[in-house]
């Protein structure tokens, strides 16, 4: 029989069902929708319980960004394009099947009975069949990829191992998470499988030629016919599978707000509310905040969007794999922190609490009674977790807020507390007299301006390590000579400079940061200059992004940006190519915080260096371990684990013959000079700061 095209090809939605069965079906739909709506309502109420309000910016811009990121899977595909492609297949497969179901409902419940318009036939029906069949198959392929990855390949990021445990845990929550993951995967596969079986049994029962437009269902249907399973037997099987598939689909929809499937709602919302400057620009305390309102001490203190973040987590483990604390055996996994907070939120505020299910944690509202202080102090505030999260979770700001609450309670690392007191009394983390801040300049053969007394083009905010640390003083002097040779008019604050406070703030001491910032702003505001220069990415970040909160708005440059500017303008002209084979480490606060990646590389190229990239570079750079105040704290890592800086040096040495490990951060100079020694690579690699190499390439006359 020839295949008919474009005539009356269609199928009846409720074929073989009696009136009471159709009524029952619509009642089940009503129950499913009601349960779904109740669950979503409870979620919204939970988020509204959040106390801290955060700005979300332009709704239109956020909507456009969210649509682009969700449609392209740009965040999901990063660093794992294969899994990203599989998720793309699942996402669009499910979306098309859901849309197809909605179209069918519109046809049956509104278009035909109300408008008298029957569009679900002929060419539309044939195209509809083809489209849903192809995307249904894509859904199955994506699910198979995920099953293979989770069941056979088992990458580290999908494990529920925690750094504080010596082996993969057998804890109850890990088992529950694993079962939940497989149930979610299996339920989607069951929906797809029963959908194809329903189509195949229908084709085997009637064998309409035009159903070749549903190619995968048609092939399976023909196989059933070939096996003799056709006619009445196939029709009976079709009727059974219709109810199995339909009831399970309704149950699945109603379960979305209560299961892992909730990320279908919360993940796009998380992308929408994510702050592009999360971490790099922390929120100030409300001016009228009471002591008990400082930071996140209880679950209802979280901002609504951070409560939303907890439900958006899919347990993909990308943050778990990227975190330097996790990799170094510190008692922190950003994924597990989010999961624990989600358990607290569910036990205190969420659907689980509404259903009367006992909370997992006895201290179900006091998150500081649930999350260990060592976990929070392990964070290096490097932003690796925030940067890689595909659903926009803001781990770093959440941890920072919890640190603020710890500081308010006086629960902090002893060394950190001593350093903060030192900064408060002396204005620097070294505890040196302020008159010694500019001692490095006395070894220069020229006078450095005191910008408080005379105008200069650049105000150079030197920073603590660049001012007081002997090894870093050599770098500071090298940069000063470069600027002098380029004819740059610059001055420093001498004893008027205090610690900029970036890491003070990230350690949770908001009050001390405000005090430091206000003093620096007052001093800088009394000077005459065009732009601010600094060699310290930490200082660069807080001057550029956070001082404006207190009225200090200026153009701030990292020295890599200024040096490239001088090279491109011809004010600096290297006389010789160095020919060194080097690798470069991207500082977290310069790269992930502020997007400065190419300028240092271009400066090294201008100096004639051959750059060999480490596997983890640019936004995937591995933290040195100093950030977030960790440079001022005792070690928390496992005894047999390497420090992050030592792992990084091993990574560089693994590249082969490398002359220099190049950095552009004073704290990196300190951390990696020490790591080269403690990792046993003194004879294999040497550290140089970028300015030192550029000065050498300039070959200045003595």
| pLDDT (average), residues 680-693 | 97
Pairing of strands 449-450, 490-492: parallel
Four-CA torsion 5, 106, 36, 20, nearest 10 degrees: -90
Alpha helices in 587-626 (DSSP H): 598-606
pLDDT digits (tens, 9 = 90+) for 150-161: 999 999 999 888
> pLDDT tier at 597 (50, 70, 90 boundaries)?
very high
Residues near 95 by beta carbon (within 8 Å), at least 6 away in sequence: none
pLDDT digits (tens, 9 = 90+) for 474-504: 999 999 999 999 999 999 999 999 999 999 9
Cα 547 to Cα 517: distance, rounded to the nearest angstrom: 7
Residue 176: is its pLDDT beyond 90?
Answer: no
pLDDT digits (tens, 9 = 90+) for 394-425: 999 999 999 999 999 999 999 999 999 999 99
What's the pLDDT at 350? 78
Least confident of 232-241, 283-292, 616-625, 693-702: 283-292
Cα 438 to Cα 662: distance, rounded to the nearest angstrom: 25
Q: Which residue has the tokens 């009975």?
A: 113
Q: Which helix (H) or strand (E) holds 556?
A: strand 556-558
Average pLDDT in the chain: 93
Cα 305 to Cα 324: distance, rounded to the nearest angstrom: 25
User: Across-strand partners of 450?
Assistant: 492
pLDDT digits (tens, 9 = 90+) for 631-641: 999 998 887 88
* Residue 165 backbone dihedrals phi, psi, to 5 degrees: -110, 140
pTM for the whole thing? 0.94
Q: Structure tokens of 292?
A: 């008990």
Pairing of strands 686-689, 458-460: unpaired
Q: Looking at the chain, how many residues does it have?
A: 702
User: Across-strand partners of 449?
Assistant: 491
Cα 168 to Cα 187: distance, rounded to the nearest angstrom: 26
What's the pLDDT at 573? 97
| pLDDT (average), residues 222-228 | 94
The domains of the chain, with CATH numbers, are: 60-271 (no CATH), 287-345+364-411 (1.10.1060.10), 417-698 (no CATH)
What's the pLDDT at 13? 87
**SS3 per residue for 60-127:** HHHHHHHHHHHHHCCCCCCCCHHHHHHHHHHHHHHHHHHHHHHHHHHHHHHHHHHHCCCCCCHHHHHH
What's the pLDDT at 598? 98
Q: Structure tokens of 149?
A: 């990855």
Count Cβ atoms below 10 Å from residue 339 Cβ, excluding itself. 18
CA angle 148, 153, 156 (to 5 degrees): 130
Q: Structure tokens of 399?
A: 């941890």
Contact present, 596 and 558 (Cβ < 8 Å): yes
* Residue 459 backbone dihedrals phi, psi, to 5 degrees: -95, 115
| pLDDT (average), residues 229-240 | 94
pLDDT digits (tens, 9 = 90+) for 107-123: 999 988 888 888 889 89
DSSP SS3 for 660: strand
What's the pLDDT at 295? 94
What's the pLDDT at 363? 56
């Amino acid at each position: 029989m020839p295949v008919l095209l474009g005539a009356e090809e269609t199928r009846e939605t409720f074929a073989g069902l009696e009136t009471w069965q159709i009524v029952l079906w619509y009642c089940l739909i009503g129950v499913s929708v009601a349960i779904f709506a109740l669950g979503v309502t409870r979620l919204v109420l939970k988020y509204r319980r959040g106390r801290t309000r955060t700005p979300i910016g332009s709704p239109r811009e956020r909507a456009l960004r969210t649509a682009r990121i969700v449609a392209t899977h740009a965040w999901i595909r990063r660093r794992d394009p294969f899994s990203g492609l599989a998720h793309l297949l699942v996402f669009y497969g499910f979306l098309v099947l859901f849309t197809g179901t909605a179209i069918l409902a519109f046809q049956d419940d509104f278009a035909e009975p109300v408008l008298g318009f029957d569009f679900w036939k002929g060419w539309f029906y044939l195209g509809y069949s083809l489209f849903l069949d192809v995307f249904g198959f894509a859904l199955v392929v994506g699910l198979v990829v995920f099953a293979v990855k989770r069941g056979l390949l088992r990458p580290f990021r999908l494990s529920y191992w925690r750094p504080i445990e010596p082996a993969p845990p057998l804890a109850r929550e890990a088992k529950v998470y694993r079962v939940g993951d497989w149930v979610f995967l299996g339920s989607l596969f069951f929906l797809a499988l029963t959908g194809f079986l329903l189509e195949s049994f229908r084709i085997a029962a009637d064998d309409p030629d035009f159903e070749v437009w549903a190619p995968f269902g048609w092939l399976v249907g023909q196989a059933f016919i070939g096996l003799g399973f056709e006619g009445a037997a196939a029709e009976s099987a079709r009727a059974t599978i219709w109810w199995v598939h339909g009831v399970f689909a309704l149950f699945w929809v109603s379960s979305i707000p209560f299961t892992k499937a909730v990320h279908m709602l919360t993940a796009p919302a998380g992308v929408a509310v994510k702050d592009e400057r999360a971490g790099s620009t922390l929120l100030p305390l409300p001016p009228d905040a009471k002591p008990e309102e400082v930071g996140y001490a209880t679950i209802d203190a979280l901002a609504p969007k951070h409560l939303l973040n907890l439900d958006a987590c899919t347990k993909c483990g990308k943050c778990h794999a990227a975190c330097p604390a996790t990799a170094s055996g510190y008692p922190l996994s950003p994924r597990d922190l989010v999961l624990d907070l989600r358990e607290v939120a569910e036990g205190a505020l969420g659907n689980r609490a509404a259903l009367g299910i006992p909370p997992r944690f006895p201290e179900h509202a006091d998150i500081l009674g649930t999350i260990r202080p060592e976990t929070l102090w392990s964070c290096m505030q490097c932003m690796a977790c925030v940067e890689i999260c595909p659903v926009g979770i803001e781990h770093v700001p959440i941890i920072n807020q919890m640190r603020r609450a710890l500081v308010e309670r006086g629960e902090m690392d002893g060394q950190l507390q001593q350093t903060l007191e030192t900064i408060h009394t002396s204005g620097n983390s070294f505890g040196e007299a302020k008159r010694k801040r500019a001692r490095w300049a006395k070894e220069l053969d020229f006078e450095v301006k005191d910008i408080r007394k005379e105008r200069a083009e650049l105000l150079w905010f030197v920073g603590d390590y660049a001012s007081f640390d002997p090894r870093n003083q050599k770098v500071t002097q090298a940069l000063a000579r470069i600027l002098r040779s380029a004819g740059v008019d610059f001055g420093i604050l001498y004893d008027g400079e205090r610690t900029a406070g970036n890491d003070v703030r990230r350690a949770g001491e908001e009050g001390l940061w405000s005090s430091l910032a206000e003093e620096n702003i007052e001093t800088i505001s009394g000077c005459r200059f065009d732009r601010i220069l600094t060699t310290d990415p930490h200082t660069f970040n807080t001057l550029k992004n956070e001082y404006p909160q207190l009225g200090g708005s200026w153009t701030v440059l990292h020295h890599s940006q200024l040096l490239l500017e001088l090279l491109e303008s011809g004010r600096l002209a290297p006389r010789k190519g160095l020919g060194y084979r080097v690798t470069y480490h991207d500082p977290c606060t310069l790269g992930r915080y502020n997007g400065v990646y190419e300028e240092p590389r271009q400066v090294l190229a201008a100096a004639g260096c051959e750059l060999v990239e480490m596997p983890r570079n640019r936004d995937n750079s591995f933290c040195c371990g100093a950030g977030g105040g960790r440079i001022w704290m005792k070690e928390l890592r496992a005894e047999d684990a390497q420090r992050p800086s030592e792992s990084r040096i091993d990574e560089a040495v693994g590249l082969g013959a490398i002359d220099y490990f190049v950095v552009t951060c004073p704290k990196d100079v300190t951390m990696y000079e020490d790591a080269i020694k403690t990792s046993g690579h003194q004879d294999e690699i040497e550290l140089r700061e970028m300015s030192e190499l550029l000065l050498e390439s300039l070959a200045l006359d003595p």
